[in-house]
Amino acid sequence: MKFGIWLDFRNPARWRRPWAEVYRETLELATGAEHWGFESVWLSEHHLTDDGYLPSLFPALTAIAARTERIRLGTAMLLAGLTHPLRLAEDAAVADLLSGGRLELGLAPGYREAEFEALGLPRAARGARTEETVEILRRAWTGEPFSHQGKHFAFQDVTVTPVPQQQPHPPVWIGGGSKAAALRAGRHGLRFLPDLGTPPEILDLYRQTLAEHGHDPERFGVTAVVTPGVYVCEDAEQGWQEIREHYWYLLNKFQEWFGNPGLPSVDDLPREFFLVGPPDQVAEGLRERIKGLGQVERVIFFGRAPGLPADRARRSLELFAEHVIPQFD
């Protein structure tokens, strides 16, 4: 099994640092991931946040590409519901070329109401816009002239160049743990990127839909996202004290975006949600969490919780690479 790290470049007010330092440190973690033996690094986007959640994926991906040679470079997720598909096709092709054919493109519709409102886009149409985007990307990446007349996008006789280095196109992933996401991935013969904890019936639906549309499910592995987080340390109790404030922030921010009440105190944080401890304990927790997912080809997890000092994130990743990854070879 392969492992990747997930980075978001956040800089919360509570632990605010100069932005240039946060970006430099995060790029160093991405570069280190290749050296330590991780197979991939994934970036995710959000817009107009108070903590600087990475708003621009492709510049950051190509900055990592320029500093690495082998590691795969993914989006987990790019918010297709907020993006024009022709611009996306162009940006992805350029990123794939500049990285030497290392792009993995994960797409999701998006969910945060504030983003759709600020950008003047209908949140209710996010699924349909993502559906059209998948269709347009495949045609755009042929490099041949084409036209499209859909519900949300329409254009005549356009040609997208350059084309990606990976042919017919970079691997495309559909993210999410819903029936709609599983159906979308299965219909289009795309790979599926669900959170760990996604019910088995959703994965069964994905594989069933692949087969119904002429795709061999055996050819499609799953990349699973470990949420909320993984933190490897020598001592579980000390590690929990180091990381828990950062995980409290992480969980409460997502709760806020989903419109749910947050946890009043860090003491309310459900420790069992997280994998925190020595390498053998983390490895066992991972085995338990993935055992119901079937064919898992890759696991990715947050490489640096929001505001966590870079040296602590680095130590956790080094321990994971040295002592956890070999247990899954």
Q: Record the pTM.
A: 0.96
Query: Is residue 106 scored above 90 in pLDDT?
Result: yes
Q: What integer pLDDT is reported at residue 176 of this predicted model?
A: 87
Residue with tokens 């019936």: 201
Alpha-carbon span 35 to 41, nearest angstrom? 12
Report how far apart, in Å, the C-alpha atoms of 37 and of each of 304, 309, 319 are. 17, 22, 11
Tell me the mean pLDDT in the region 241-266.
95
Percent of residues, the chain, with pLDDT higher than 70: 100
Tell me the mean pLDDT in the region 142-147.
98
| CA 189 distance to own-chain centroid | 19
Fill in the amino acid letter for 199.
P
Instruction: Tell me the three state secondary structure of residue 58.
Output: helix
Q: What integer pLDDT is reported at residue 290 of this predicted model?
A: 87
Give the bridge partners for 191, in sequence order: 173
**All structural domains of the chain:** 2-246+272-328 (3.20.20.30)
Q: What integer pLDDT is reported at residue 221 of this predicted model?
A: 80
Alpha-carbon span 272 to 234, nearest angstrom? 18
| Cβ neighbour number for residue 98 with a 10 Å cutoff | 18
Question: Under 8 Å CB-to-CB from 319, ≥6 apart: which residues?
Answer: 232, 233, 234, 279
Q: What integer pLDDT is reported at residue 53 of this predicted model?
A: 98
Looking only at the bridges linking them, the beta strands covering 154-158 and 146-149 are antiparallel
Alpha-carbon span 219 to 139, nearest angstrom? 22
Q: What integer pLDDT is reported at residue 224 of this predicted model?
A: 87
